[in-house]
C-alpha cells in the first residue's frame, strides 16, 4: 500500500532490506506535480498488490535519504530491487508510462 510512510529512520528496513521490489515516491506538500502523481501512485499500489511494495518519502522531512539518492526534482519515483535502484522516473507522467517502466524491472 502507498500508505507506507518511508523516512530516513526506516528506509533501510522498508526499502533496502525488502524481499519485494519497492517503489518509493519522493515528494513534498508544496509540489503541485506531486499532487497529480499521488492518486496514480495509490492506484499502482492497489494494482500491484504483493508484487510491489509502494511507499512515499517526504523530501522536506527526510532530506538525508533524498540527498543520498541525488533527488533534485520531484516527483521522483525510484524502484528498488535487492537494495539497488533499478529504475528512476522523474516528473508527472501517465499511469501507463509508470506501469510500463515498473513492468520492465519486475
Q: Which residues are catalytic?
A: 31, 34
For residue 20 the three cell numbers come to: 519485494
C-alpha–C-alpha distance, residues 2 and 45, integer Å: 6
Q: Which residue, 27, 42, 11, 21, is CA-closest to 87?
A: 21
Amino acid at each position: 500500500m502507498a500508505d507506507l510512510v518511508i523516512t530516513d529512520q526506516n528506509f533501510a528496513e522498508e526499502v533496502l532490506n525488502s524481499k519485494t521490489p519497492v517503489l518509493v515516491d519522493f515528494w513534498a506538500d508544496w509540489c503541485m506535480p506531486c499532487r497529480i502523481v499521488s492518486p496514480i501512485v495509490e492506484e499502482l499500489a492497489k494494482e500491484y498488490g504483493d508484487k510491489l511494495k509502494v511507499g512515499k518519502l517526504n523530501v522536506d522531512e527526510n532530506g538525508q535519504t533524498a540527498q543520498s539518492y541525488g533527488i533534485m526534482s520531484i516527483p521522483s519515483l525510484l524502484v528498488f530491487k535487492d537494495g539497488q535502484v533499478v529504475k528512476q522516473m522523474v516528473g508527472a507522467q501517465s499511469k501507463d508510462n509508470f506501469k510500463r517502466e515498473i513492468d520492465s524491472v519486475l
